[in-house]
Amino acid sequence: MRIDPFIIKRVYGGVNWFKQRKGNLMDKRLCVVFFAVLTIIFSTLAFGQESVDTAIRNRVKQFEAAYNSGNADSTAAIYAVDATHTFANGLTYRGRVEIANGLKEQFAGPMKGTQIALTPLHIRALSPDIAVEEASFSLSGLKDSNGAVLPPIGGFCLVVYQKIGEQWFVAAAQCMVPPPGSQPK
């Protein structure tokens, strides 16, 4: 196998490749191919981020539908087996089973008939299989001790998702309701 002396000079001699090969049709084609490959790579990376965003937004819709139907098991199925969730009311559940049991208790008690609306504010991938979502929520249908419907409660959640196989699962969620009169920045 013979190595082109030009390549040796380029690699070891610091020769300016573009100046020396100026006008060579094969080199121009090589540059076009190189830039086309770079375009494809960067497009794929951007599409990868978009698909993470889309996948998380779809999971949020699934969560809303499951929660709003009062189905604790379907809601909990969106969580990873070892997930944690600290709800805005301060209750923390660890593990999918405990989350499902906690939701069943809440759906039979103070959260019975409540509806949640989630709005993803910002989603970003930290790695190919970890993403973070910042979201706002509005919970309506809460009732006081006399059965009167209370105004909706709004708050924020920070949710960490983990991709397991081809599916995104909630690994950790922490929600809060800001104190009255405070405005998010």
Asked whether 156 and 178 are in contact (CB, 8 A), the reply is yes
- The rounded radius of gyration (Å) of the Cα atoms in the chain is 26
Instruction: Please tell me the predicted confidence (pLDDT) of residue 184.
Output: 58
Better-predicted residue by pLDDT, 161 or 185? 161
Instruction: Please tell me the predicted confidence (pLDDT) of residue 26.
Output: 54
Structural domains in the chain plus CATH codes = 34-176 (3.10.450.50)
Better-predicted residue by pLDDT, 31 or 184? 184
Which of the four pLDDT bands, split at 50, 70 and 90, describes residue 180?
confident
Which of the four pLDDT bands, split at 50, 70 and 90, describes residue 181?
confident
Q: Which residues pair with 136 in a beta bridge?
A: 119, 156
